[in-house]
Amino acid sequence: MGDLNLAATAAFGLESVVAHELKRLGLEKTGTENGRISFPGTESDVARANIWLRCADRVLIEMGRFPASDFEELFQGVLKAPWGDILPRDAAVHVTGRSVRSKLSSVPACQSVVKKAIIEALKRTYRGGTFPETGPRFSVDVSLNRDVATIDMDSTGAGLHKRGYRSAAGEAALKETLAAGLVYLSRWKPDTVLADPFCGSGTIAIEAAMMGRNIAPGTNRQFAAEQWPFIPSRAWDDARREAGAAGNREKLHIFASDIDEGVIVKARRNARHAGVLSAITFRNGDFRDLPIPGPEGKVICNPPYGERSGDRKTAAEQARDMGALFAGFPAWSFFILTAFQDFEKHYGRHADRNRKLYNGRIQCYLYEYGSKFKVQGSREKA
């Protein structure tokens, strides 16, 4: 088909990180909206983006974007898309939708119109007949925003955070995509010590190890578009072959610990499934009693935070103790993701930078403390 209009979706606050990932893959963004980074690409790029993107949620194929203030405009706009070049006669088309500040506010009605337009397009391509929908699944989404419709096909299937290595996650575990985003935002390098003293199921440490060893996160999973006839199987084979050749066995200095011995067992199991157990040193213990490993490095962590009053008291004590402990390591940088609103107050000083992120639906801030920011003598709010 030649070039496609593609888009990677991402959690709020990670758009710039995903754009940087795309650039490293040789894919240049053409636009960025909240949670969406657009870029042109080929069928092969659909495979490469799905296999390599660490911080994106999904890879979409944009089939059309057009004004749609009534059902006829919506129908005609969908009909113009090249469905016959993509969908086989037996395609199983599933339509989802949403509408924000648009005249077409009935989402079920919009979904029905989109499905009818797609079937009409297929009738024109295949010259009538029946469409049994017994073949590969194509998930189509119609998004209406201020009377503009965007029609996307989801090439990913289960979200990109589903790496396949985490068989057991702790309560309120970070998504793998967000954990990878934290590592990117910390500007960690593989020759630098990294520690997570609240590792839980090990996601931050595992994502860092996969980055350090250049292991593509989607190598060992399947994607919806692998069943689509218009993307040749060799595109996926080539992308996986490229990913396999790119890995390394570099020695990394990653330390992960947690007070809960049971979750450490789970974290080790997850690291083994991810193929990076040898890259991480796991320890069981309270963060207050564990030494910081080395004269300099980075701490990236997501300490437990509760929303009940008793949990808030514990979170306050924890923040205070973190501030006291971390102050003794001026050559280290600290990146702490938390939803605890009074974190800075109890930590003992304002962060050098902070960035709003979302852990699922929970609004959090990534507080950054580090010697390089002190030298600059300014506080930046990202």
Instruction: Give domain status of residue 225, yes or no.
Output: no
pLDDT score, position 163: 95
pLDDT of res. 380: 37
pLDDT number for residue 306 = 57
Claim to verify: residue 59 and residue 138 sit in the same structural domain: yes
What pLDDT band is residue 150 in, cutting at 50, 70 and 90?
very high
Of 154, 189, 204, the position where a domain reaches its end is 154
CATH number of domain containing 305: 3.40.50.150
Q: Is a pLDDT exceeding 60 seen at residue 92? A: yes
> Does 113 share its domain with 188?
no
Q: How many CB atoms lie within 10 A of CB 214?
A: 14
Q: CA separation (Å) from 116 to 69, 76, 229?
A: 18, 11, 22
Number of other residues whose CB lies within 10 A of the CB of residue 116: 15
In-domain check, residue 242: no
Condensed to tens digits (0 to 9), the pLDDT of residues 199-243 reads 999 999 999 999 999 999 999 999 999 999 999 999 999 999 999
The residue range of the domain holding 97 is: 4-154
137 and 19 in a common domain? yes
> Do 315 and 184 fall within a single domain?
yes
**Quick check: pTM over 0.75?**
yes
Averaged pLDDT for residues 281-296: 90
Task: Provide the mean pLDDT of the chain.
Answer: 92
Any idea of the CA torsion for 154, 156, 158, 160, to the nearest 10 degrees? -120
Tell whether 187 and 299 lie within a shared domain: yes
Domain membership flag for residue 223: no
Do 19 and 120 have their domain in common?
yes
Domain count, the chain: 2
Number of H helices, E strands in the chain: 12, 15
CATH number of the domain that residue 74 is part of? 3.30.2130.30
Please check whether residues 32 and 129 belong to one and the same domain.
yes
Domain co-membership, 149 together with 180: no
Q: Which residue has the higher pLDDT, 137 or 170?
A: 137
Residue 368 lies inside a defined structural domain of this protein = yes
Average pLDDT over residues 311-316: 86
- Residue 334, class by beta-carbon neighbours within 10 Å (0-12 exposed, 13-18 middle, 19+ buried)? buried
Local confidence band at 372 (pLDDT 50, 70, 90 cut-offs): low
